[in-house]
Amino acid sequence: MITSETKNTSLNDLIHRLSGCSGAHPHEHPRDLSVNKAQEIIAQFIQPIHQVEKIGILQALGRILAEDVISGMSVPAHDNSAMDGYAFAGDALSETDESTYRIVGAAYAGRPFQGSVAEGECVRIMTGAVMPDGCDTVVPIELSDQVGDTQIKIPAGRLQAGNNRRRAGEDLAIGKTALRKGKRIRPADLGLLASLGIAEITVQRRLRVAFFSTGDELRSLNEPLDVGCIYDSNRYTLHAMLTRLGCELIDMGVVKDDPILLESCFRNATESADVVITTGGVSVGDADYTRQIMSQLGEVASWSIAMRPGRPMAFGKLNSNGKSAYLFGLPGNPVAVMVTFYFFVKQALLHMQGAENATPILVPATSKFPIKKRPGRTEYQRGIVELNAQGELEVSITGSQGSGILRSMSEANCMIVLDHDHNEVHAGDRVKLVLFDGLI
């Protein structure tokens, strides 16, 4: 039998092909799927959206470019001065003798010198001012000696022809690709677009993401906390992570472990969003109806992933009244929610918007202390990384690493990633980590 490689590949086919499971029982899902395989299955199953919109660049931070931006002009448009000083023709500079130039005028940024400059002449010039005709070199004020009001002297051997001149087009030449399709717009990109005079760009439309928490024990903020209940924190971390990804949020609140309520909520979410994210109810407890309802509404795999935290996770596609949405049924434990979001959902949401590869960069560091680790699963430990006296990165874990201990995430500034086959870590071993923050 030929397995289809096309867009319509079913989730089951993909799972069987990529996880190496036999196809004998098409509805049997693999146990303890590795993180890499799960990421691969998600990446192949999820299809990018193709709707785009034109927006002003001030609205574009974090959005994903839907087409290349080609420069319609050279930046800078003219050769100009990199320093405050005097501009002149550099070919007469001597290595052995000092040179003298007569000042014939001044050039300011935005107010060019109008005439042309002959041999032995120079123009007082400010940073950013257009180089006058006949000039290719600028001597900075501090390297020149002014003689009266009309002349300068430049000591021998301090300067070469062409120094301190910025060339037209050195930032960006006309006709060149300034930004590539798939780029997530960052502050520098907004500045670059503005420097090209571009006020609007075409970006992928924002993804609509519906999310809700499931569990009888969950209370929302401002509700009384009955005995045995806890506040729902997952919806707040999800809200924050999805906001940073630039998604349009549909916050559907807390849903009780009740099959009828759950089904109606899944249907609403599927009919109004591109992606549905839930937390809780995907393990095998008695009240975990979430899994059951999800599988009734679409093609959903219930995974046990070889990872810690975050083992149970559901993934697939839901259908309701002719609409469909991708589903991520994340675990209930707050740290597991964040870990599965960062290492599965985030990439998938970016991929859906046609973003360039968004795999996080792993940075090497030395572990200050031993870390327990069992081979056969990927572990994500919350860490604090700092520079030691030798200027090298050293990391230690943030106390208790239980998957319910959200404080471990809050105190951490990085996540230590211990690969599937990694054994326990000894003090002084090299480990890999993902930093939480870079520059803003």
Return residues touching ligand AMP (CB under 6 A): 213, 215, 217-218, 230, 232-234, 279-283, 285, 331-334, 404
**Separation of alpha carbons 354 and 359, rounded Å:** 14
| CA distance readout (Å), 119 to 81, 89, 101 | 19, 7, 8
230 contact choice in ligand AMP, Mg ion, none (CB below 5 to 8 Å, kind-dependent): ligand AMP
Collapsing DSSP states into helix, strand and coil, what is residue 414? strand
In the shown chain, the binding pattern of residues 322 to 351 toward Mg ion, with x for contact by CB under 5 A and - for none, equals ----------x-------------------
Cα–Cα nearest to 255, from 272, 224, 232, 229: 232
> What tokens appear for 240 in the block?
């924050």
Give 142: exposed, middle or buried? Use CB within 10 Å, 0-12, 13-18, 19+: exposed
295 contact choice in Mg ion, ligand AMP, none (CB below 5 to 8 Å, kind-dependent): none
Task: Give how many residues touch Mg ion by CB under 5 A.
Answer: 4
Query: Is 360 or 404 the residue whose CB approaches Mg ion more closely?
Result: 404
Identity of the amino acid at 203: V
Least distance between ligand AMP and beta carbon 331 (Å):
5
Least distance between Mg ion and beta carbon 295 (Å):
17
Collapsing DSSP states into helix, strand and coil, what is residue 402? coil
Collapsing DSSP states into helix, strand and coil, what is residue 192? helix
| CA distance readout (Å), 111 to 107, 128, 365 | 6, 10, 53
Least distance between ligand AMP and beta carbon 265 (Å):
14
Cα–Cα nearest to 331, from 285, 270, 398: 285
> What tokens appear for 236 in the block?
């707040």
Query: Is 98 or 216 the residue whose CB approaches ligand AMP more closely?
Result: 216
Query: Is 85 or 332 the residue whose CB approaches Mg ion more closely?
Result: 332
Least distance between Mg ion and beta carbon 221 (Å):
19
Query: Is 221 or 439 the residue whose CB approaches ligand AMP more closely?
Result: 221
How many other C-beta atoms lie within 10 A of the C-beta of residue 91?
10
234 contact choice in Mg ion, ligand AMP, none (CB below 5 to 8 Å, kind-dependent): ligand AMP
In the window 211-240, what residues touch Mg ion (CB under 5 A)? 215
Least distance between ligand AMP and beta carbon 304 (Å):
13
In the shown chain, the binding pattern of residues 274 to 313 toward Mg ion, with x for contact by CB under 5 A and - for none, equals ------xx--------------------------------
| CA distance readout (Å), 31 to 184, 196, 253, 316, 331 | 35, 53, 31, 16, 16
CB-based closest residue to ligand AMP? 332
First CA to last CA distance, the chain: 51
Query: Is 246 or 312 the residue whose CB approaches ligand AMP more closely?
Result: 312
Q: Does 169 bind Mg ion (CB under 5 A)?
A: no
Query: Is 113 or 328 the residue whose CB approaches Mg ion more closely?
Result: 328
Least distance between ligand AMP and beta carbon 48 (Å):
30
Which residues make up the interface to Mg ion (CB under 5 A)? 215, 280-281, 332
